[in-house]
């Protein structure tokens, strides 16, 4: 069959989109990361200039180097920030999984007529700005905030807890913000599960707990994996939450990047940080893609 131009264009569109909106900006960032810091506007050299002709291009390429990457590897601050980001993302994902699974399970087991409403409630926070919701947590978590007032009033604690500006606040913020991304894919797998499978497991001698681990959990695994990736990947690069809720000792790569870019105005180094972050993220993203593909073929 011959493909028409229209069909080719249709196939080309998403690639064009990726080219313009992803690949081109990335190449610019990559180029900046290979440049040197300069007191100029924009603050780096060399500048890409075609007016000089071939020799200009040769000079331009010769001026690019991996200095910034070497610097990243030598200064333990950046390595620590990357590792700390990975750790915070991993721990948050684990906490989100436990809470999200429980909520998804409750949703899937709730009476049919309530389900649409309950799922709606899970999505409801998206109707408000993410930034405002994170700000709201400051009001809850700060020393004289709602949580401390409540706990003091109940009498559980004698003096206010310091949660604000600690890693704990960052965990709370990430878990809260990304919970819906965990709940929805798990709910989707649990909801379509045939309930007679659990009856069959009981009929064949399983306790309810055994049936959960032998039937429910394995069958919801695709949802669990999807949810974990959807939380883990954006959590690594998270900037707003550690910036607003975290303290000075909260080390996350998104925040480091922001400081390099805006405070230090070191665009080349910030670009190198961003490029390495992207490389780090590609691994889980590729794994996620592959898992989604396999699932797509299985069903």
The residue ranges that bind other proteins (CB under 8 A) are: 194, 196-197, 199-207, 210, 214-215, 218-219, 298
Which residue number, 185 or 246, has a Cβ lying nearer to other proteins? 185
Query: In angstroms, rounded to a whole number, what is the distance separating the alpha carbons of residues 201 and 195?
Result: 10
Please compute Rg for the chain using Cα positions: 25
To the nearest whole angstrom, how small is the minimum distance from the Cβ of residue 101 to other proteins?
Answer: 17
To the nearest whole angstrom, how small is the minimum distance from the Cβ of residue 197 to other proteins?
Answer: 5
To the nearest whole angstrom, how small is the minimum distance from the Cβ of residue 199 to other proteins?
Answer: 6
Which residue number, 195 or 249, has a Cβ lying nearer to other proteins? 195
Which residue number, 190 or 269, has a Cβ lying nearer to other proteins? 190
Query: In angstroms, rounded to a whole number, what is the distance separating the alpha carbons of residues 209 and 207?
Result: 5
Which residue number, 201 or 273, has a Cβ lying nearer to other proteins? 201
> Which runs of consecutive H residues, i.e. helices, occur in the chain?
5-18, 24-33, 53-63, 67-74, 76-109, 112-123, 130-141, 146-154, 167-191, 196-203, 208-211, 217-236, 240-245, 253-258, 267-298
To the nearest whole angstrom, how small is the minimum distance from the Cβ of residue 97 to other proteins?
Answer: 19
To the nearest whole angstrom, how small is the minimum distance from the Cβ of residue 184 to other proteins?
Answer: 21
Which residue number, 149 or 207, has a Cβ lying nearer to other proteins? 207
Q: Are 228 and 182 in contact (CB under 8 A)?
A: yes
């Amino acid at each position: 069959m011959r493909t028409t131009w229209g069909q080719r264009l249709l196939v080309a569109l998403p690639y064009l989109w990726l080219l313009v909106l992803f690949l081109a900006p990335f190449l610019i960032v990559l180029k900046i990361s290979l440049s040197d810091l300069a007191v100029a506007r924009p603050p780096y050299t060399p500048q890409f200039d075609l007016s000089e002709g071939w020799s200009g291009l040769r000079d331009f390429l010769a001026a690019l180097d991996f200095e910034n990457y070497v610097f990243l590897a030598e200064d333990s601050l950046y390595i620590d920030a990357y590792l700390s980001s990975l750790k915070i993302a991993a721990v948050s994902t684990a906490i989100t999984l436990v809470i999200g699974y429980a909520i998804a399970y409750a949703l899937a087991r709730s009476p049919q007529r309530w389900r649409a409403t309950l799922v709606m409630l899970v999505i409801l926070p998206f109707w408000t700005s993410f930034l405002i919701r994170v700000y709201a947590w400051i009001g809850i978590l700060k020393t004289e905030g709602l949580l401390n007032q409540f706990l003091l009033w109940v009498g559980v604690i004698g003096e206010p807890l310091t949660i604000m500006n600690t890693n704990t606040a960052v965990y709370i913020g990430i878990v809260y913000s990304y919970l819906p991304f965990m709940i929805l894919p798990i709910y989707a797998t649990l909801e379509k599960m045939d309930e007679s499978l659990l009856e069959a497991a009981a009929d064949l001698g399983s306790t309810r707990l055994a049936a959960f681990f032998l039937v429910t959990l394995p069958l919801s695994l695709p949802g669990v994996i999807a949810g974990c990736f959807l939380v883990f990947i954006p959590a690594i690069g998270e900037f707003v939450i550690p910036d607003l809720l975290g303290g000075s000792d909260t080390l996350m790569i998104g925040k480091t990047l922001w400081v390099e870019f805006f405070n230090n105005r070191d665009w080349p180094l910030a670009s190198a940080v961003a490029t390495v972050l992207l490389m780090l993220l590609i691994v889980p993203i590729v794994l996620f893609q592959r898992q989604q593909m396999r699932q797509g073929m299985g069903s």
